[in-house]
């Protein structure tokens, strides 16, 4: 019985081995390896992957150092499907012959393969501990400068950007920042014109740590995905909350040269419009008032600003000085206009304004920096 069972098992294994060989033969019969003259190859005209000069130099250095270890993948017409970078590096090295692997695919299979070959390479990640160990062992490895950058730890991407469905990410429950409609309008316009050029930062469960406004604007535009950087942090950890706070607050610590910014916004106003910058004409007007002296404000209409802005240069409030012969006349005047005048009252508004938190403040322009004039002022 044991011999019969062993015989049946051996037969099944042989059958499986034969089947695997047949499958391998079928899948390999359409692949041919050849050494081809490089001038017979043609680049795929719709290749969606680009190669920088720096990458080509590194590839050329790698081929020169290690040999042509990966063949160029071509179709039966010798059009390159995978290996455009290696082809350009071989051209850079002046190679006349290159190893190629010719595959026979349908037209749609070719298109899919070109994209898949490029995309799959992006999906791998570095094992940091093993990487550090291997790079340490290569400290005395003899390489030229074009290869040196490939072995620099600082050039390795440890956090990779992903394009992920917008429905999968969620706002942080402790985010205290609110994005008003006018800000979201500017963000939407910026995304329309420039795309999302800033990755959304998320925790390990896809809770947003930075970029809440971007996500809100993207949803309003009907986008279905956004680029993210995923950190290996729980959303409510100290580090995660610190990132959340820093994203909201750190930019406010920067100092702004308001005069230079106003000139930059003026260029945009002349050449295009302000939607997408976070500024509008009212905000520019306020910016001009606080970044220029009284005399400069008066000249704004004479400059190019007058062609694009409807503002009027700020004029000082009209004033009338009234002198009294005695304190009683002063008190009688206060009663006549319905104002309570004290020893500290130096000026009043007409029509009379009840004093509240801000009504007693009057902002005026001076040759020197602006100041607040209050009841205690000597004016």
Position 24 pLDDT exceeds 60: no
- Decide: pTM greater than 0.75: no
Q: What percent of the chain shows pLDDT beyond 70?
A: 79
* Arithmetic mean of pLDDT over the chain: 79
Question: pLDDT class for 39, splitting at 50, 70, 90?
Answer: very high
Confidence of residue 312 (pLDDT cuts 50, 70, 90): low
The pLDDT value recorded for residue 237 is 93
- Identical fold for domains 16-122 and 161-253, yes or no, is yes
pLDDT at 353: 62
| Predicted pLDDT at 212 | 94
Q: 16-122 maps to which CATH number?
A: 3.90.1530.10
pLDDT at residue 9 is higher than 60: no
Rounded Cα gap, residues 101 and 115, in angstroms: 18
Q: What is the DSSP letter of 204?
A: T
Q: In the prediction, which pLDDT does 100 show?
A: 95
Q: Residue 203: is its pLDDT beyond 60?
A: yes
For every residue of 233-270, DSSP letters joined together read: S-TTSHHHHHHHHHHHHGGGGS---HHHHHHHHHHHHH
User: CB–CB of 88/58 below 8 Å?
Assistant: no
Tell me if residue 302 falls in helix, strand or coil: helix
User: Alpha-carbon distance 172 to 236, whole Å?
Assistant: 9
The answer for residues whose C-beta is within 8 angstroms of residue 146's C-beta and 6 or more apart is: 57, 58, 60, 61
Structure tokens, 24: 């391998």
Res. 66: pLDDT tops 80: yes
Tell me how many degrees the CA angle 232-236-241 measures, rounded to the nearest 5.
Answer: 90
- pLDDT tens readout for residues 133-176: 888 888 888 877 778 778 877 777 666 778 889 999 999 999 99
What number is the average pLDDT over the span 218-242?
A: 92
Non-local (6+) Cβ contacts of 199 within 8 A are 161, 211, 227, 228, 229
Stretch 52-56: mean pLDDT: 89
CB 106 within 8 A of CB 119: no
pLDDT at residue 11, rounded to an integer? 44
pLDDT confidence bin for 98, thresholds 50/70/90? very high
Whether 64 has a pLDDT exceeding 70, the answer reads yes
- Distance between CA atoms of residues 242 and 337, nearest Å: 57
* Per-residue model confidence (pLDDT) at position 318: 80
Bridging pattern class, strands 225-230 and 200-202: parallel
Per-residue model confidence (pLDDT) at position 363: 44
Helices (H), the chain: 2-28, 53-66, 84-93, 107-122, 128-137, 145-148, 181-194, 212-220, 238-249, 258-271, 281-291, 294-298, 327-337
On the question of pLDDT at 215 being above 60, the answer is yes
Name the CA radius of gyration of the chain, rounded.
Answer: 36
Q: According to the CATH classification, is domain 161-253 in 3.90.1530.10?
A: yes
- With a CB cutoff of 8 Å and minimum separation 6, the contacts of 317 are 362, 364
pLDDT greater at residue 317 or residue 96? 96
d(CA 71, CA 73): 6
Q: How many CB atoms lie within 10 A of CB 358?
A: 6
Q: What is the pLDDT of residues 272-284, one digit of tens each?
A: 778 888 888 778 8
Rounded-to-10 torsion of CA 84, 86, 88, 92: 180
- 170 strand-pairing partners: 207
Determine the length of the chain: 379
Beta-sheet pairing, 200-202 with 161-165: unpaired
Encoding tokens for residue 70?
């990966």
- Name the maximum alpha-carbon separation found in the chain: 134
Of 228-232, 249-253, 304-308, the range with the highest mean pLDDT is 228-232
Angle at 46 between CA 44 and CA 51, to 5 degrees: 75
Task: State the Cα–Cα distance between residues 167 and 21, nearest whole angstrom.
Answer: 45
Q: What is the mean pLDDT of residues 289-303?
A: 73
The domains of the chain are located at: 16-122, 161-253, 258-307, 327-373
CA 235-157-199 angle, 5° bins: 50
């Amino acid at each position: 019985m044991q011999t019969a069972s062993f015989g049946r098992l051996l037969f099944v294994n042989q059958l499986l081995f034969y089947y695997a060989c047949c499958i391998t033969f079928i899948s390999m019969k359409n692949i041919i390896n050849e050494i081809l003259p490089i001038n017979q190859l043609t680049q795929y005209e719709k290749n969606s992957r680009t190669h920088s000069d720096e990458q080509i130099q590194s590839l050329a250095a790698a081929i020169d150092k290690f040999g042509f270890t990966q063949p160029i993948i071509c179709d039966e017409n010798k059009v390159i499907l995978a290996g455009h970078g290696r082809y350009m590096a071989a051209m850079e090295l002046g190679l006349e012959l290159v190893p190629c692997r010719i595959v026979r695919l349908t037209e749609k299979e070719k298109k899919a393969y070109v994209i898949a070959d490029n995309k799959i390479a992006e999906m791998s990640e570095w094992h940091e501990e093993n990487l550090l160990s291997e790079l340490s062992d290569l400290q005395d490895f003899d390489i030229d400068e074009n290869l040196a950058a490939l072995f620099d730890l600082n050039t390795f991407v440890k956090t990779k950007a992903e394009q992920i469905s917008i429905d999968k990410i969620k706002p942080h429950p402790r985010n205290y920042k609110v994005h008003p409609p006018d800000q979201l309008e500017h963000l939407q316009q910026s995304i329309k014109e420039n795309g999302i050029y800033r990755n959304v930062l998320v925790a390990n469960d896809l809770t947003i740590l930075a970029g809440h406004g971007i996500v809100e604007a993207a949803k309003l535009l009907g986008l279905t995905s956004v680029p993210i950087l995923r950190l290996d942090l729980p959303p409510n950890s100290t580090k995660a909350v610190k990132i959340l706070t820093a994203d909201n607050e750190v930019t406010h610590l920067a100092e702004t040269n308001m005069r230079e910014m106003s000139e930059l916004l003026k260029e945009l106003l002349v050449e295009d419009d302000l939607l997408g910058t976070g500024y509008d004409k009212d905000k520019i007007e306020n910016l001009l008032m606080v970044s220029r002296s009284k005399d400069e404000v008066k000249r704004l209409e004479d400059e190019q600003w007058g062609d694009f802005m409807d503002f009027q240069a700020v004029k000082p409030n009209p004033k009338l000085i009234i002198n009294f012969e005695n304190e009683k006349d002063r008190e009688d005047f206060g009663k006549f206009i319905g104002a309570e005048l004290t020893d500290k009252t130096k000026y009043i508004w007409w029509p009379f304004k009840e004093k509240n938190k801000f009504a007693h403040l009057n902002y005026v322009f001076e040759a020197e920096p602006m100041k607040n004039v209050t009841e205690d002022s000597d004016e």
